[in-house]
Amino acid sequence: MATVKVGDIIPQGTFTYVPWSEELESHAACGIPIKLNTDEWKGKKVVLVAVPGAFTPMCHVNHLPPFLEKLDELKAKGVDVVAVVAANDAFVQSGWARFLRLKDKILALSDPNAKWSAQLGLSQDLSAVDFGTRTKRYALIIDDLKVTYVGVETERAVTVSGADAVVAAL
């Protein structure tokens, strides 16, 4: 069960990601990971989508692509930043972002060992399937570092953490 709830201030944390650049289009470059601190979200409205793993069937097909499709709707509702977070390393997240052609429309953030997600009560142990510690499947709406929506999946589905639910909650 999630410990984070509407009204909470998010814990301070630092993610890594590889910013999109033209050189990454050739797929011969890897890019250089940089840090993104949650303090950078002060004064911003952020939609944060968490997935157990890049390139995994539900995450890759059902969860993230609708957020890209609804990006204009999200922006029209005042969203400044849309990000996807997973326990994958920054290079895997970057590869996934390039495959889905996210560029930097949606930031692909790395939360190694789901440390930040664990502070929210939103990590899970998937060692039984050799995945180690991962994020749960969830979505947050964060406004000036304050949580205004929490959608955590309890089944193997994309419902409360999906793009339609998030758009409706804005």
Per the annotation, the verdict on 59 as an active-site residue is: yes
The tokens for 77 are: 């509702």
Q: Which of 4, 54, 59, 141 is catalytic?
A: 59
Point out the residues that are catalytic: 59
